[in-house]
Amino acid sequence: MIRIPNAEIWDLHCHFSGVEGKTVDERIAQLMVYADRMNVDRLVFFMGWPWSTNPDPDEFRRQNDQVIQALTHWQDRAFGFAYLNPMYVEESLAEIDRCIANGPLVGIKLWVSRRCRDEEVDEIINKTAELKGVIYQHTWLKVSGNRETESTPEDLAKLASRHPGVPLICGHTGGDWERGIRAIQNHPNVSIGIGGSDPTAGFVEMAVRELGAERILYGSDIGGRSFSSQLAKVFGAEIPEAAKHLILGQNLKTMMTPILKSKGIQF
């Protein structure tokens, strides 16, 4: 009934929400049951709970510890990015050392505490790039109004033009994807994450047309979202089978290969 591509699926965007469980170990185990049902092979987790939009360094360290703990039993399937707050640049740089240079995490997640057009973010980008870490920046374009410190795809385009050699991920494609796709189009170092929005038909078709399949990354934003609604964006898109393979896993794998190799992580 559903044509499920026979592809390796790597999920860029996972959280520990949407399931019960007091400990992160309990939660990740439950999430993996759903991942198994949906044939999702690898999952990238970032941030712990409860949510904190502007965490102080103690708080983002605590959340990163949750992620590191979650990975301990799932090293064959799960990866983690460090949650940082560019309002605390020094502490964020130290956290990159702790979690990526000297720890198991392989990228960073920047959320809504500071707009990524700000030059203060640059040091964090440079340091992560030196370590070959993956850089995920949340973006949204809400007609109802963004938070003042929430980045838009245009903000990410500015960041991208200051770091033309550094791969960057435009999280959510700005939510309003018809605008988000065009906002980052002329920055070939920017890929889009398609997770965390409604499965509106035409999204992935437009992205393939305007960016090429190589710049599109499947991710779900579980557990607030389902795997289903987000996989459907790729499974249901009217695009070639080869493009689906790239989007579902190959692109993220390629992007993560340098850091996984340098850390000696099997994949």
Q: Determine the Cα–Cα distance for residues 171 and 126; give it in Å rounded to an integer.
A: 19
Q: Which residues, numbered 144-173, are part of the site for other proteins (CB under 8 A)?
A: 144
Pick from Zn ion, other proteins, none: which does 143 bind, CB < 5 to 8 A by kind?
A: other proteins
The backbone torsions φ and ψ at residue 202, rounded to the nearest 5 degrees and listed phi first, read: 105, -15
Residue 21 binding: pick among Zn ion, other proteins, none (C-beta 5-8 Å cut-off by kind): none
- Our CB check for Zn ion shows the closer of 16 and 235 to be 16
Residue with tokens 């992205």: 207
Asked if 221 is part of the footprint of Zn ion (rule: CB under 5 A), the reply reads yes
Q: Is residue 217 within a helix (H) or strand (E), and if so which, with residue range?
A: strand 216-217
Contact pick of 233, 244, 252, 259 for other proteins (by CB under 8 A): 233
Kindly state whether residue 198 participates in binding other proteins, applying the rule CB under 8 A. yes
112 binds other proteins (CB under 8 A): no
Nearer to other proteins, 202 or 212 (CB): 202
Which of 80, 145, 159, 59 minimizes the C-alpha distance to 114? 159
With residue 43 as reference, give the H or E element that holds it: strand 42-45
The answer to whether 11 contacts Zn ion (rule: CB under 5 A) is no
16 binds other proteins (CB under 8 A): no
Phi, psi (degrees; rounded to nearest 5) at 11: -100, 115
**Residue 242 binding partner per list Zn ion, other proteins, none, with a CB distance cut-off of 5 to 8 Å that depends on partner kind:** none
Q: Nearest-CA neighbor of 143 among 181, 175, 170, 110? A: 175
Does the CA dihedral 162-165-170-176 come out positive or negative? positive
Q: How far is the CB of 221 from other proteins (least distance, A)?
A: 10
According to DSSP, the residues that pair with 84 across neighbouring strands are 110
Element (H, E) at 185: none
Q: Provide, rounded to whole angstroms, the least separation between the CB of residue 2 and Zn ion.
A: 25
Min separation Cβ 145 and other proteins, Å: 9
Query: Does 231 help bind other proteins (rule: CB under 8 A)?
Result: yes
Looking at the DSSP bridge assignments, the partners of residue 193 are 217
**210 with 239: CB under 8 angstroms?**
no
DSSP 97: I
237 binds other proteins (CB under 8 A): yes
Is residue 205 involved in binding other proteins (CB under 8 A)?
A: yes
Name the burial class of residue 28, with classes exposed (0-12), middle (13-18) and buried (19+) by CB atoms within 10 angstroms of its CB. buried
Quote the least distance from Cβ 257 to other proteins, whole Å: 28
Q: Which residue is nearest to Zn ion (CB)?
A: 221
What are the residues binding Zn ion (CB under 5 A)? 221
What are the residues binding other proteins (CB under 8 A)? 1-2, 18-19, 31, 34, 37-38, 140-144, 175-176, 178, 197-202, 205, 222-229, 231-233, 235-238
